[in-house]
Amino acid sequence: MGQLFQKKEIFAVGGGKGGTGKSFFAVNLAIVLARGNHRTLLIDADLGGANLHTCLGIPAPESTLSDFIQSPTLRIEDVIVETPLANLRLISGAQDILDIANPKYTQKIKLIRAIQTLEIDFVILDLGAGTNYNTLDFFMVADKGILVVIPEPTSIENAYRFIKSALYRKLKMLASDPQTKGIIEKAMDKKNAYGLRTPVELLDFITQENATTGEFLRREMNRFQPRIVLNQVRSLADVRIGYLMQNACRKYFGVQVDFLGYIENDDQVWQSVRKRQPITLNGGYSKITQSFQIITQNLIQGLQLKPE
């Protein structure tokens, strides 16, 4: 990949639930970027459940992201640690689940602004599981948000829930008048009195009530473009799930979702996790490494996997 892409970008990696391989993906994405001669910063934003240092096989850092967020004087440089891989640095999350697991929005913005001062090319935020506001906010302030999904009904359903929750969160934050905010808040309840079930229906309803506000929110929603990666793929039928999810999100949510690629199910993956040796650092796993390279290239270039 060379030096073609030097724009500083923030990638947020989330998942509708735990167990999808989110941290595994974030670590190996960071490694592929770093080995492509890109200055990369990996941030463990799963506050209260930090594990990226373990994935990289390095000791738990003494200073963490929580320390930076809470301290009025600590610089972001003070919590960055080097890793054994050139071009890859790490900011670990909190080691104690009772630490700052839910920072205020202003504290999250503090982190994003601090990142912009660093001499780096790419930042990867490994988010916590679920759809709490902390996770959704980090996902939305990133330049590109990626959802790691496994081809199982519960994971797919949780991914849809994540996208829908992020959309409603974004629309509510953008709405300026109390009436529209109230409509959005009520629509978040499946049993709402308006009978609204999808973001598309919500925007149509808001547009009927206030055409100017509706069109503004529709334009902003069009800028929301999540990416998905399928993990633990076992068949072509599993791969097709990525395209089916694209169509469903376009139809019911009114958003474009890019299908970046997939990673095949392989025992060598969990073995690498157990050994604390990221799989993309081992030349023997060329098939998995190639998948990560394709996904990374699509992510950087704004491309996606095409149906065969």
User: Is residue 284 very low, low, confident or very high in pLDDT (cuts 50, 70, 90)?
Assistant: low
For the domain spanning 9-148+226-301, the CATH number is 3.40.50.300
Signed CA dihedral, 69, 148, 86, 120: sign only:
negative
Long-range CB pairs of 233-236 (<8 Å, 24+ gap) are 233/151, 233/262, 233/263, 233/264, 233/265, 234/151, 234/264, 234/265
Q: How much is the pLDDT for 159?
A: 95
% of residues, the chain, pLDDT over 90: 60
User: Is residue 51 very low, low, confident or very high in pLDDT (cuts 50, 70, 90)?
Assistant: confident
* Maximal C-alpha separation, the chain: 60
Average pLDDT over residues 92-101: 60
Q: pLDDT of 256-278, one tens digit each?
A: 999 999 999 988 777 777 777 78
Which residue in 43, 42, 33, 35 sits closest to 5, CA to CA? 33
Q: How much is the pLDDT for 203?
A: 95
**Mean predicted lDDT score pLDDT of the chain:** 88
- Hey, where are the domains in the chain? 9-148+226-301
Q: How much is the pLDDT for 135?
A: 86
Would you say residue 1 has pLDDT above 60?
A: no
Q: Which has the minimum average pLDDT: 3-7, 161-165, 172-176? A: 3-7
Q: How much is the pLDDT for 291?
A: 93
Q: How much is the pLDDT for 4?
A: 41
Q: What is the pTM of this model?
A: 0.90
Q: Is 152 helix (H, G, I), strand (E, B) or coil?
A: coil
Would you say residue 97 has pLDDT above 60?
A: no
DSSP 72-114: SS--GGGG-EE-SSTTEEEE---SSTTS-SS--HHHHHHHHHH
Q: CA-to-CA distance for 289 and 293, rounded, in angstroms?
A: 6
Q: How much is the pLDDT for 66?
A: 83
Would you say residue 76 has pLDDT above 90?
A: yes
